[in-house]
Chain A
Amino acid sequence: MSKNIRDKVAIVGVGACKFGENWDMSREDMIVEAAYEAYADAGIEDPQKQIEAVFCGAVYPNGGTGEVAEALKLFDRPISKLSNYCETGTDTFRYGVMCVAAGMYDTVLVVGFDKPKDRGVSGPSVSFDRVRGLPATPAGWFSLCAARYFQTFDAGREDLAKIAVKNHHNGTLAPKSMLKREITVDDVLNARIISWPFGLYDCAAQSDGAAAAVITRADLGRSFRDDPINVKAITIAVGANPQSDPNFDFLSWKPTQVAAKDAYRQAGITEPFRELDVCQVHDCFTLTEMLTYEDLGLCKKGEAKDFVASGVFELSGELPVNTDGGLKTFGHPTGATGVRMIYENTLQLRGQAGERQVKNAKLALSHNIGGAPQACGIAIIGHP
């Protein structure tokens, strides 16, 4: 069981480049844009002296640390690169937080980035699994849960569609999001099918992008700015591939349930729906967001469709989820996504989220899953 990390580390700067098909930017360009925005946000004028170590997260590049060092001209100091499926960003943030909490460094930079659009395919490489000879894509892995979930809880494509409509609306209010277009439930239902029951609008927008955060010891937070945001919980859980786990019922994300329990314990949360003010969750597909509501304990198993229909997760609702459009419309540059969630939650907690601002946000959760899915990372941040 993890030890408590609550209120030991503060977020004092966040930044992100615009997410999208960034043909005119290299990885280094995106890293520089995100990191320098985070520096300015933290009031850091001399990163050479003030940034003691860098943690970077990326899934696609083979290298990583050298390009970050050269892009930021931060040499002769520790730089590490992490990869942990699509929850790479949250895990990268976790490593930075743990190092600061351990007293290794006072102030470090966390940067997540990926540039998948240059690869010429719109998802991870198609893989083939052992004896089955079946093509498998992320849409295929996740959609396998849907028919069973629909049958068990009397849900359907129209329930998922409402999630896509919500996230498309939120994305129109986020200046740096990839897609800025309102859609309707009919648009979702009539779009071409990718992997049943997922149509085009049930799938997240894979994109290029980078996001960064400057974190420091909690007691130093106010030396950077008046409104530092504290880390309340940070954890991950990794389980078996659902395909090889004989006990996986395809109705819930086990690693999410395990990580959520640990994160709530760290943060001292007993009633997540009532206590949390805003959430960013991993909506690689609409169904992923639907199951995540339940596995995070925001509602009971099978209740998600009723909660969605009631509007509680919309910007004007009781617990807004994916306020910046989520992976669906803000974009999903794999390694950047978890750090982008920290970026959005930090803006929300400071009251700097513009038109998408959630009123009186004091406690925010971000949730990333990765793999088929096998891994889940959760961060909870809030007012000191």
Chain B
Amino acid sequence: MAIFASDGRPLPQPTPTTQPFFDAAKKRKLRLQRCPRDGFFYYPRSRCPKCLGDDWTWQDTNGLGEIYSYTVDRIAHDPAFRAFAPFAVALVELDCGPRMTARIADCEVSDLRVGLPVEAHYEDVDDITLVSFRPRTA
């Protein structure tokens, strides 16, 4: 069952595994799991995707990265996203290693490019905070 925001968008529902990610996002921090052998990984999961170890810890990252690849959704199949279209969905390669798929905020579609430096961006929607990225301001 999806939970919907007051603006109609479906919202992620934190699980025990993902709750720390959302708790950190509320405090404007990009916090990811880090394996002592293989480093940071994303998305949140119970074991490291490389060594399958479960001795990872949650650690804050600097929230910086660059666009690895991207596409632009101009249609927004879900009516709740139409107000955002056209919007960019990008693979962001973080300085700390893993890639995150996320929306790019505060960026003209024509300014998108592979290699664009971006920083984590936080949007409070009802009771949850969503993480997207935007072009670096500093």
Q: Which residues of A contact B (CB under 8 A)?
A: 121, 123, 126, 128-135, 137, 139-140, 143-148, 150-151, 193-198, 243-246, 250
Q: Do B18 and A130 touch (CB < 8 A)?
A: yes
| A244→B43 contact, CB < 8 A | yes
Contact pick for A131, options B22, B69, B76, CB 8 Å: B22
Contact A131 B73 (CB under 8 A): no
**20 sampled A-B residue pairs with Cβ under 8 A:** A128-B2, A129-B101, A130-B12, A131-B18, A131-B131, A133-B130, A135-B76, A139-B71, A140-B89, A143-B71, A145-B69, A147-B69, A147-B114, A148-B114, A195-B72, A195-B74, A196-B109, A244-B45, A246-B98, A250-B68
Measured CA separation A129–B43 after assembly (Å): 10
A131 engages B43 (CB within 8 Å):
yes
The answer to whether A126 and B91 touch across the interface, beta carbons within 8 angstroms, is no
Task: Count contacts on B: residues with CB < 8 A to the other chain.
Answer: 40
Q: Is A140 within 8 A of B73, CB to CB? A: yes
Residues on B with beta carbons closer than 8 Å to the beta carbon of A195: 71-75
What's the A-B contact tally at a CB cutoff of 8 Å?
Answer: 95
- Please give the distance in Å from A125's CB to the nearest CB on chain B: 9
* Residues from 71 to 120 in B contacting A, C-beta threshold 8 Å: 71-78, 81, 89, 91, 98-99, 101-103, 109, 114-115
Q: Is the CB of B71 within 8 A of A146?
A: yes
Specify which chain A residues have a CB less than 8 angstroms from the CB of B122 in the assembled complex. Answer: none
B51 CB → nearest A CB, Å: 11
Bound form: Cα–Cα A244–B78 in Å: 23
A244 partner residues in chain B, CB cutoff 8 A: 43, 45, 49
Identify which of residues 1-33 in chain B touch chain A, using a CB-to-CB cut-off of 8 Å.
Answer: 2, 9-12, 14, 18, 21-22
Do B76 and A132 touch across chains, with their CB atoms under 8 A apart?
A: no
Q: Does B18 lie within 8 Å of A144, measured CB to CB?
A: no
Question: How many whole Å from A372's CB to the nearest CB in chain B?
Answer: 11
Contact of B89 among A121, A134, A193 (CB under 8 A): A134
Q: Are the C-beta atoms of B69 and A126 separated by less than 8 Å?
A: no
Supposing A131-B21, A134-B89 touch, asked if A148 and B101 sit within 8 A by C-beta, the answer is no
Distance of A130 Cα from B72 Cα, bound (Å): 20
Residues from chain B with a CB closer than 8 A to the CB of A139 are: 71
CB distance from B129 to the nearest CB of A (A): 11
Report Cα–Cα, A131/B109, bound state, in Å. 24
Q: How far is the CA of A197 from the CA of B69 in the complex (A)?
A: 11
CA distance A148 to B90 in the complex (A): 11
- Given A135-B81, A144-B89, A196:B49 Cβ within 8 A: no
B63 at the interface (CB under 8 A from A): no
A320 to chain B, nearest CB (A): 30
CB distance from A193 to the nearest CB of B (A): 5
Beyond A132-B102, A193-B74, A250-B69, whether A144 also contacts B91 by CB under 8 A is: yes
A144 CA / B50 CA spacing, docked (Å):
23
Chain B nearest CB from A189 CB (Å) reads 16
Query: B41: nearest residue on chain A (CB-CB)?
Result: A246
CA distance A129 to B12 in the complex (A): 8
Cβ contact within 8 Å between A132 and B72? no
